[in-house]
Amino acid sequence: MSEGAAKKEEKPRKFQAIRGTRDLLPPETALWNRVEQAVHEVFATFGFGEIRLPILDPTELFARSIGVDTDVVSKEMFTFWDPFDQRLPPKYQIEEARARGINIQNEGELATIGLALSFQQLTLRPEATASVCRAYIERNMQQLPQPVKLYTIGPMFRRERPQKGRYRQFYQIDAEVLGGSDAPGIDAELIEMVMTFLERLGLEGVQLHINSIGDKNCRPKYVELLREELRKVKDKLGPDSQRRVETNPLRVLDSKVEGEQEIIEKLPRISQHLCDACRENYDEVKRQLALRGIVYSQNFRLVRGLDYYVRTTFEITAKGLGSQNAVCGGGRYDGLIELLGGPPTRATGFAIGEDRLILSLQEQAKSKEVASGEWRVASEKPRVEVYVAWMGEKAYATAIRAAKNLRAAGFSVELPPVEQKFGKALGQADKLGARYALILGDNEVASGEWTLKTLATGEQATFAEADLLKFLGKNRSGE
Ligand code: AMP
C-alpha cells in the first residue's frame, strides 16, 4: 500500500461526550426552561433571591463541609491541581500568590516560593450548599436582615456509576435559608415552597418523607447505640455496611442492599432517642406542615449521607424513576457555617435533582394519552411558526421586512437565505413542521396582498401586511 492510500484510510477521531455527561437538545430544552421559569416565579413569591456561584471552589471547602467520610468526597469528586504559573510576569505572580494566601512582599521573595506552595487543589462542585455558605461568609451576608433566602440552579459533578436518573454532570435546583432562628415554621415553609413548585409543574405521585435526626446532644448517644446493635449483626451485612458500622453507622440505615433490609427494620429508631428539645421541635414541624395542608410520611431511615445535618431531614420521591426515585433532598444544617469559619448560624435548605424531575414529567406525559399541563405545550410549540417562502429580488426585500416584524411580535420565523421554487419551499416548510407559510412573489409584492397558507389544512388566505399580524396574533399556536 502506498503512503498516500494509508493516509486516506486514517479517519479523524470522532469525539463523544464524556461518560455520565450528555447534551440536552431542543425540543427538550424548552421543558428545562419551563421548569426553571417556574422556579424563578414560585421561589420569588416566598422571598427568595437568586445567587449564581462559581462551578469551581477549593477542594477543602467540600471536604470540610460534606465530610471526608462520605462517598461524595472520598470517591466522587472531580478534583485537579491548579498549577501556579511561574511564567507570568512577577507582578502577576505576586498577585496570584497573595490570592492563594501566600503573603509575598516583593519580587525578591518570589524565588522563595517552593513548588509545594505553588499549586492549589480545585474541585468541580458536587453540590451547592457549601458554596452558598462560603459566599454567605465571604460576602458578610450575616449583616443583612436575617434570614437570607437564596436559590441557585446549575450543574453539579459527581463521579458516580451512570444509570437512568444518575449522571456525572447533573443539574440541581438548590434553595437555602441562612441565619435567623430555627423556628419550625421556617422548615415547614421551605417544604411548602418545594411542594408548591412541584404542584405548579403538575408533577403527580409526589411523596414527602420526613424525619428528625436529632442534634449534637442526642444524636451521638443514638449513633453509639446503633453501632453496638450493628456490631452484633455485623457478619450478616455486606462489605459497605460492615465498614460503615465503624465509620458512619447512620449510613447503614439508607442501604438498599436486599439482604440487609430485614435487619435494618429491627434496628433502634432515632425517634425513640430524641432529647426533649428535638422531640418538641419535630412535633412542631409536623404540626406546621399539617397547618399548611401538606401530607407527609415519616421515615426513620432518612438520615442523609452528609455530616452537617441536624433535626429535620426530608426527601421527596416521584413516579417513573425506578430505583433513583428521589427528586429532592433537604434538611437543617445549623453547624455548617461555623465549621467553615463563619459565625454560629442556623440554616436549612434543599436540592432538587432537575434531571430526575424532568424525567418524571416526561414519563408522566408518556403514560397519558392526552397531553396536558402548561409545560408540555411549551415543549411542543413548533420550532417554526411562519416559513417565509419568497421568490425574486424584490420579494426578498419584502420578506426580510416581514420576518423582522413577525419576530418583533414574538413569532418564530424561518427565512430561507437563498431563493427557492415555491414547491420546494413549501416542502421544506412542511419538513420543519411549520404552522404557516407566508408566500411572497412578484404578484404579492406588487399588489400588497400577501398569501398565507395554513400547512396542516392547505387553506390559503390573502391579507394586507397590517392585517396579517392581527390574524396571526389571534391564531397563535399553543393558545
Ligand atoms: P444530594 O445533594 O445528594 O442530597 O442530592 C439531591 C438531589 O439531587 C437528589 O435527590 C437527586 O434528585 C439529585 N442527584 C444527586 N446525585 C445525582 C446524580 N448523580 N445524577 C442525577 N441527579 C442526582
Q: Please, what sign has the CA dihedral across residues 284, 286, 287, 289?
A: positive
Instruction: Using CB atoms within 10 Å of the CB of residue 142, give its burial: 0 to 12 exposed, 13 to 18 middle, 19+ buried.
Output: middle
The answer on pLDDT for 87 being more than 70 is: yes
Which pLDDT value is given to residue 322? Answer: 80
Which residue spans within 365-434 are E strands per DSSP? 386-390, 413-414
Cα(285) to centroid(ligand 1), Å: 24
Which stretch of 87-91, 157-161, 273-277 has the lowest confidence by average pLDDT?
Answer: 87-91
The answer on pLDDT for 110 being more than 80 is: no
Query: Which positions ≥6 away from 446 have C-beta within 8 Å?
Result: none
**C-alpha distances in Å from residue 368, one per residue of 15, 32, 206, 449:** 37, 20, 17, 44
Give the pLDDT confidence of 270-313 residue by residue, as tens digits: 999 999 999 999 999 999 999 999 999 999 999 875 667 899 99
Give the residue carrying C-alpha cell 430561507.
416
The answer on pLDDT for 96 being more than 90 is: no
Which residues does residue 79 pair with via DSSP β-bridges, in sequence order?
123
Collapse the DSSP code of 24 into the 3-class scheme (helix H, G, I; strand E, B; otherwise coil) and give the result.
coil
Which residues does residue 174 pair with via DSSP β-bridges, in sequence order?
152, 351
Q: How confident is the model at residue 372 (pLDDT cuts 50, 70, 90)?
A: very low
Cα(456) to centroid(ligand 1), Å: 43
Cα(182) to centroid(ligand 1), Å: 25
Which grid cell sits at 153? 440552579
Query: Which positions ≥6 away from 95 have C-beta within 8 Å?
Result: none
* Predicted structure pTM score: 0.87
Instruction: Using CB atoms within 10 Å of the CB of residue 11, give its burial: 0 to 12 exposed, 13 to 18 middle, 19+ buried.
Output: exposed
Residue whose CA lies nearest to ligand 1 atom number 21: 166
Distance CA 156, CA 310 (A): 23
Q: Which helix (H) or strand (E) holds 146?
A: none
Which residues does residue 57 pair with via DSSP β-bridges, in sequence order?
123
Nearest-5° angle of CA 185, CA 188, CA 189?
Answer: 85
Which residues does residue 123 pair with via DSSP β-bridges, in sequence order?
57, 79
Residue whose CA lies nearest to ligand 1 atom number 20: 166
Cα(184) to centroid(ligand 1), Å: 25
Residue whose CA lies nearest to ligand 1 atom number 3: 329
Q: How confident is the model at residue 112 (pLDDT cuts 50, 70, 90)?
A: low
Give the residue carrying C-alpha cell 436582615.
145
> Cis before residue 27, ω within 30 degrees of 0?
yes
pLDDT over 70, % of the chain: 92
Residue whose CA lies nearest to ligand 1 atom number 7: 353
Cα(328) to centroid(ligand 1), Å: 7
Residue 82: half-sphere exposure toward Cβ, Cα within 13 Å: 14
Phi-psi label, residue 331: left if phi above 0, alpha if psi -120 to 50, beta otherwise: left
Which pLDDT value is given to residue 231? Answer: 94
Cα(183) to centroid(ligand 1), Å: 27
Cα(152) to centroid(ligand 1), Å: 15
Q: Which atom of ligand 1 is nearest to the CA of 158?
A: 19
Are the beta carbons of 130 and 61 closer than 8 angstroms?
yes
Are the beta carbons of 84 and 97 closer than 8 angstroms?
yes
Which pLDDT value is given to residue 293? Answer: 96
Cα(321) to centroid(ligand 1), Å: 13
Average pLDDT over residues 375-385: 62
Which pLDDT value is given to residue 66? Answer: 87
Which residues does residue 440 pair with via DSSP β-bridges, in sequence order?
390
Which grid cell sits at 355? 434531571
Cα(304) to centroid(ligand 1), Å: 11
Nearest residue to 100 via CA among 50, 155, 60: 60
Q: How confident is the model at residue 114 (pLDDT cuts 50, 70, 90)?
A: low
Collapse the DSSP code of 107 into the 3-class scheme (helix H, G, I; strand E, B; otherwise coil) and give the result.
helix
Nearest residue to 318 via CA among 358, 274, 377, 369: 358
Nearest-5° angle of CA 179, CA 99, CA 307?
Answer: 40
Q: How confident is the model at residue 374 (pLDDT cuts 50, 70, 90)?
A: very low
Give the pLDDT confidence of 60-71 residue by residue, as tens digits: 999 999 888 788
- Amino acid making up residue 296: Y
> Cis before residue 147, ω within 30 degrees of 0?
yes
Which pLDDT value is given to residue 308? Answer: 73
Average pLDDT over residues 211-229: 93
Q: Which of 75, 129, 321, 356 to mutate to test the pocket of ligand 1 (most atoms within 8 A of CB)?
A: 356
Residues with CB under 6 A from ligand 1: 127, 158, 160, 165-167, 170, 172, 326-329, 351, 353, 355-356
Are the beta carbons of 53 and 152 closer than 8 angstroms?
yes
Give the pLDDT confidence of 25-53 residue by residue, as tens digits: 988 999 999 999 999 999 999 999 999 99
Which pLDDT value is given to residue 375? Answer: 46
Mean pLDDT of the chain: 90
Give the pLDDT confidence of 410-468 residue by residue, as tens digits: 999 999 999 999 999 999 999 999 999 999 999 999 999 999 999 999 999 999 998 99
Q: Which atom of ligand 1 is nearest to the CA of 328?
A: 10
Distance CA 139, CA 134 (A): 8
Distance CA 260, CA 48 (A): 41
Q: Which atom of ligand 1 is nearest to the CA of 168?
A: 19
Q: Which atom of ligand 1 is nearest to the CA of 165?
A: 21
